[in-house]
């Protein structure tokens, strides 16, 4: 049921976001303690601000009240994906080429399950991450998660 709520919310908010030159990064519907949270992460060129989040929240809140796709009480949160933005869609990966990333895999690739380095290439078959002088080729079907990473 959780994935259907994510899909419904994504379909509901995407046209509004596109009209306002924003994009949907991710939707989470999670239980924390005794509370449910519907988290919607949005972004746009140059980043989003509190006013953008407020406009999306107002629009989505009205749509959710009208269509009522979620049976239980929940908290709606709209925010930026942050500096360590997850990479989910092909476009996310394409924009991240040349940037510092953290990639985890389902099973070891060249003996490693975590790769933190520069994303050097991406296509539908997989991606390449350079760590120091070595570049690792990671098949797309082995990627568990990927995100931008901040270098300290």
Q: Examine the domain organization and report whether 97 and 118 are in the same domain.
A: yes
Q: Examine the domain organization and report whether 8 and 74 are in the same domain.
A: yes
Taking the C-alpha atoms of residue 83 and residue 93, their distance in angstroms, rounded to an integer, is: 15
Residue 94 is part of which domain span?
90-148
State how many domains the chain has. 2
CA 75 to chain centre: 19
Question: Are the C-beta atoms of 122 and 93 separated by less than 8 Å?
Answer: yes
Q: Is residue 83's pLDDT more than 50?
A: yes
Note whether residue 85 is domain-resident. Answer: no
Q: Which of 36, 51, 79 is the last residue of a domain?
A: 79
Q: Which of 21, 46, 79 is the last residue of a domain?
A: 79
Average pLDDT, stretch 86-91? 90
Average pLDDT, stretch 112-118? 96
Q: Examine the domain organization and report whether 68 and 94 are in the same domain.
A: no
Q: Is residue 84's pLDDT more than 50?
A: yes
Give percent above pLDDT 70 in the chain: 98
Residue 47: per-residue pLDDT = 87
Q: Examine the domain organization and report whether 101 and 71 are in the same domain.
A: no
> Which residues, other chains included, contact 106 with Cβ-Cβ below 8 Å and sequence gap of 6+?
142, 143, 144
> What is the pTM for the complete model shown?
0.76
Q: Is residue 3's pLDDT more than 80?
A: no
Q: Is residue 2's pLDDT more than 70?
A: no
Q: Examine the domain organization and report whether 68 and 108 are in the same domain.
A: no
Average pLDDT, stretch 140-148? 95
Q: Examine the domain organization and report whether 101 and 66 are in the same domain.
A: no
CATH number of the domain encompassing residue 63: 3.30.300.70
Average pLDDT taken over every residue of the chain: 92
Q: Examine the domain organization and report whether 11 and 73 are in the same domain.
A: yes
Q: Examine the domain organization and report whether 41 and 67 are in the same domain.
A: yes
Residue 1: per-residue pLDDT = 44
């Amino acid at each position: 049921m959780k994935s259907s709520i994510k899909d419904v919310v994504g379909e509901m908010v995407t046209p509004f976001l596109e009209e306002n030159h924003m994009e949907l990064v991710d939707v989470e519907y999670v239980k924390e303690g005794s509370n449910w949270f519907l988290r919607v992460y949005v972004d746009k060129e140059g980043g989003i601000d509190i006013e953008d989040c407020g406009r999306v929240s107002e629009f989505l809140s009205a749509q959710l009240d009208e269509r009522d796709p979620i049976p239980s009480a929940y908290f709606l949160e709209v925010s930026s994906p942050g500096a360590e933005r997850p990479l989910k869609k092909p476009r996310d990966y394409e924009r991240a080429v040349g940037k510092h990333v953290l990639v985890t895999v389902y099973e070891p690739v060249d003996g490693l399950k975590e790769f933190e380095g520069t994303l050097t290439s991406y296509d539908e078959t997989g991606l390449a991450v350079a760590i120091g002088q070595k570049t690792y080729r990671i098949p797309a079907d082995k990627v568990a998660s990927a995100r931008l990473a901040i270098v300290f």
